[in-house]
A and B are shown apart, each in its own frame.
Chain A
């Protein structure tokens, strides 16, 4: 792997220095989040976004925020846990004054249905009022994201594509109900990296960002205005849209200030070192962590069969989805070939019609050529649907499942940490016992301090492990619900596209039949 590997942020390394740096002069509520290590979600499943928002926006200056009872606990945790070291993390400074945080009350969440215009790729996430009201756990998300208008900025190898990100929402956590910003691909990667670093290791399934593509982007940069580069841009645009839609659907992530800033701020500092930040990079990191975990041969005493079962299920699902995806890719490819071959045949049928000296037959052959030309268009459109609906859904889920596997692995690491703490505590107690026997009073106090320290760590480790287990259960439940809905919606849309194609075929051939019969 060529990408610069980022070490998974180690939990609990007391890098209080980072914490302090951030405290200086940051007046944005959307601080870089070092404090967000702690689990932002409240224990109640029916958590209202209200609490989460305020919690997340706790920067080093708690007084700026409207507090709630839960906040004390979070603070306690915040001081102990430290974040992630992310060497790329730059202070998000902007000349804008920090927007005030408005606590969200449930009443503002009920919103009218927002029409979404479908863009070039099919909009998968149409939300009807019924769907909004059906949100089982009572959360109502009324927010729609569109990614559109790709625009090339700059020239040569420094050029990049800028996309318009439009948000339509009635959630009052946003200052407006409709707004848009311009973002480039690395901004999306930057967003994902931040969210991943904050939430992945505590058990949240963070949707992965779309893949980088050197070949694709280079073509765009050097200005190849051919169909393959437009296709590439469209593919990316659609992928970015799906990525954001999935991210905002996540109740916890929706509250994240980095996400909000991404959607709202007109200026965003450039995310550097995006190689490491790419979705693929994060996944590689996750996978490496997984490998490392396996290599450590963690013999975790799985007291909870649910986790083992689920892991196996996801493993099977992953395999099957990959198989299906490969087959669908072949389908897309062959349908494109069919389209090209049909177009070629149409031309030769037209030529043949021109040569034919029997008038009626000549006309019929020309008509046949026209029919075949239209059919070629149909095949192209169908290939488009094959890809954007079926194939991309599968590849999205293959990458989502990698993220799911990642959180399971984080749980194992968490368990390991707890386990290690217990072992260390035991050692400290043994050491203390030895000191007692050897009767070295000056060392006893230190030993006792260390024991207290490690007792606290063991407790913390247990709490963390329970918390991550709980979070994962909830996340998996939510993920599965989403998955079912997603697949059903897309499958239905896909089948409808197939029906459309057949109906057009019927139309074309019905028009041709009398022409053939007219040959006398």
Chain B
């Protein structure tokens, strides 16, 4: 039993209003995912570009991309020395419908104690869940591209143009093995980085700003990760609660139809009430998901990207220090001073370049984060209020109806 949100059926995919990143893009390069199709084990995104930039052959064009191609693009940026001083927008997570698919399958296998009505509702809920996951993965992939398009430096990357324009597929799928290997290597590098960043390597930080950022980001990243996990659990509990109302409503309905006394109307009204409460509770769950969990998750990834930037800068600092030591040694020995000097110069320049752009990037990160939290927290509070007021209304109406009966 599978749900395939088909392009044909849906037309344009509605995206959740993604207030994850406030982007100051200009109109010279607009990128969006205009469509998406979910097939058995992959999702195909239609990436549409509108641009008046001279580089492109047309002003408006689309290509179809899969998740691996996004990863290829992300890795290309990460491996590019030119961008070492920038925060590379975090890669979108792999589309994962496993859990949802399993649940739909289990439902299909059937539980005879469930009435037809209950079954229909549960199926509806699971399909909605599937659709929500789908919409989210589209949003994640889209925001990745949009951040690239909005960044003055990153948007000019050659690979980015290829990604947007090249009509054929990029043949990066075989990269799976490389991805795995890459991941393994990345972990080794990471522990070396961790040593650097936690100050265990003995590297001396010269700049107060970066010292502060280092301690801040280390702690922040851990805590936002925790908050994200726990927000997920809250959201899932709300969802569970909403689902619980389904059998309750069904049982009340049965009770009502069986009764011959005044309880009949009471039970039937209650059944209706629980059905409506269920929908509201479901909306609370999905709003918390979007406004809170998703936001926390995004900034967890973004703060990791910021940490990566700090690692790179510290590595550059380490290189610079080593170059200094080498130069001193060369000078004392009075051998190969020139090459040592030029090497030291290069390291110094690189380090300073990285530091300058990193500073700007980190400040951008902060303002991005603050405005995003602000928007989402406001929207969260407003939605919670809206749902609580709606719940109160239907509860009060039911109470009036029940009390009014003889």
Chain A residues packing against B (C-beta within 8 Å): 313, 316-317, 320-321, 323-324, 326-328, 330-331, 334-335, 337-338, 341-342, 344-345, 348-349, 351-352, 354-358, 360-361, 364-365, 368, 480, 483-484, 487-488, 491-492, 495-496, 498-499, 502-503, 505-506, 509-510, 512-513, 516-517, 519
Contact = CB atoms under 8 A, between A and B. Distances in A.
Contacts of A354: 223
B192 interface: no
B392 interface: yes
A75 to B, nearest CB: 39
Nearest to A365: B373
B247 A516 contact: no
A100 to B, nearest CB: 43
Contact of B255 (A320, A334, A355, A516): A320
A349 B227 contact: yes
B385 A510 contact: yes
A334 to B, nearest CB: 4
A327 B248 contact: yes
A341 B374 contact: no
Contacts of B109: none
A89 B215 CA distance: 77
10 contacts: A320-B251, A324-B251, A334-B240, A341-B236, A348-B223, A358-B366, A368-B377, A484-B261, A487-B263, A499-B392
A336 B278 CA distance: 17
Contacts of B262: 484, 488
Interface in B373-406: 373-374, 377-378, 380-382, 384-385, 388-389, 391-392, 395-396, 398-399, 402-403
Contacts of B220: 352, 355-356
Contacts of A487: 263, 266
B120 to A, nearest CB: 17
B323 interface: no
Given A327-B247, A345-B231, A506-B385, A516 B377 contact: yes
Given A492-B403, A498-B395, A516 B230 contact: no
Given A324-B252, A327-B248, A510-B385, A491 B266 contact: yes
B388 A502 contact: yes
Contacts of B247: 323, 326-327, 330
A509 B373 contact: no
Given A351-B227, A519-B373, A505 B384 contact: yes
Nearest to A499: B395
Nearest to A344: B230
A321 B370 contact: no
Contact of B223 (A352, A368, A488): A352
A327 B241 CA distance: 11
Nearest to B242: A334
B254 interface: yes
Contacts of B260: 313
A324 B377 CA distance: 37
Nearest to B225: A348
Interface in B212-256: 212, 216, 219-220, 223-224, 226-227, 230-231, 233-234, 236-238, 240-241, 244-245, 247-248, 251-252, 254-255
Interface of B: 212, 216, 219-220, 223-224, 226-227, 230-231, 233-234, 236-238, 240-241, 244-245, 247-248, 251-252, 254-255, 258, 260-263, 266, 270, 273, 277, 366, 369-370, 373-374, 377-378, 380-382, 384-385, 388-389, 391-392, 395-396, 398-399, 402-403
Q: Which of B227, B261, B395 has the most CB of A within 10 A?
A: B227
A516 B381 contact: yes
Given A358-B369, A491-B266, 5 more contacts: A323-B251, A348-B226, A355-B219, A488-B402, A506-B388
A328 B274 CA distance: 12
Contacts of B378: 513, 516-517
A364 B381 CA distance: 12
A342 B236 CA distance: 11
Contacts of A357: 212, 216, 366
Contacts of A326: 247
Contacts of A498: 277, 391, 395
Contacts of B223: 348, 351-352, 354-355
Contacts of B240: 334, 337-338
B402 A320 contact: no
A201 B392 CA distance: 48
B395 A519 contact: no
A491 B402 contact: yes
Nearest to A518: B374
A310 to B, nearest CB: 11
A246 B227 CA distance: 48
Nearest to B371: A519
Nearest to A337: B237
Contact of A499 (B230, B238, B255, B396): B396
Contacts of B385: 506, 509-510, 513
A330 B234 CA distance: 17
Nearest to B226: A348
A503 B389 CA distance: 8
A168 B362 CA distance: 72
Nearest to B393: A502
A345 B233 contact: yes
A356 B238 CA distance: 27
Nearest to B296: A352
B255 A321 contact: yes
A337 B384 CA distance: 20
A512 B381 contact: yes
A516 B374 contact: yes
Contact of A502 (B224, B366, B392): B392
A364 B389 contact: no
Contacts of A351: 223, 226-227
A341 B226 contact: no
A347 to B, nearest CB: 8
A170 B270 CA distance: 37
A326 B244 CA distance: 10
